[in-house]
Amino acid sequence: MEHKDHVALLRPADLPSGGVWADLGAGSGAFTLALRELIGPDAELYAVDRDRSRLAELQRAYRTRFGEVESLHILPADFTREPDLLPLLDGALMANSLHFYEDKQSVLRRVRTWLKPAGVLLLVEYNTDHGNRWVPHPLSFAAFRELALRAGFSEPRLQATHPSSFLGEFYAARAGLNMKDPQKTKVNP
């Protein structure tokens, strides 16, 4: 996939400009760059990944594409293990990162605690429930619909799909918080 394909997957989510966002499992930042293009220069972005070298690639690509890195915060960390890692967010992007976790509901519950009441979760995943050694635990959109509700999100909406020669197709989905869920988001400190 190219940059224009990443942007095309996220564009239908119709995101407002600005805000505070995190790309969880950012890697070298293909989707971080697409997100930044869509939410604009007034946004504050946190790129979280365990791999420092891939985050360094992201920082270089961000500077090349946008001419600055002041709005980008690089966090070399495991977002599933550090509860106070991020401020309250307007949105979180998980692009090809959730499929590395078997216990996806716990991961999504953690992500939920970082979102403001009107916060958004954008998910990009392979649209299959059968993985391989590189993508061990993918989840189809149908599986994500059920999982999102159990994890305290509203019913997700399918935003876009894109063919993949690797596992059929990618999809992008958007979900908000289900404010009737008993697990509340954390209070802004």
Angle, helices 141-150 vs 104-114, to 10°: value is 60
Higher pLDDT, 99 or 171: 171
Give residue 188's pLDDT.
37
Quick: pLDDT tens for 118-127: 999 999 998 8
pLDDT exceeds cutoff 80 at 186: no
Residue 110, SS3?
A: helix
Span of 58-62, 102-106, 140-144, 185-189 with lowest mean pLDDT? 185-189
**What is the mean predicted confidence (pLDDT) over 13-18?**
92
**What is the mean predicted confidence (pLDDT) over 58-62?**
95
Higher pLDDT, 99 or 86: 86
**What is the mean predicted confidence (pLDDT) over 74-79?**
94
Give the pTM. 0.88
DSSP state of 70: T
Structural domains of the chain, with CATH: 3-176 (3.40.50.150)
Higher pLDDT, 156 or 167: 156
Give residue 129's pLDDT.
79
Give residue 181's pLDDT.
52
Of the candidates 60, 96, 71, 85, the residue with the CA atom closest to the CA atom of residue 170: 96
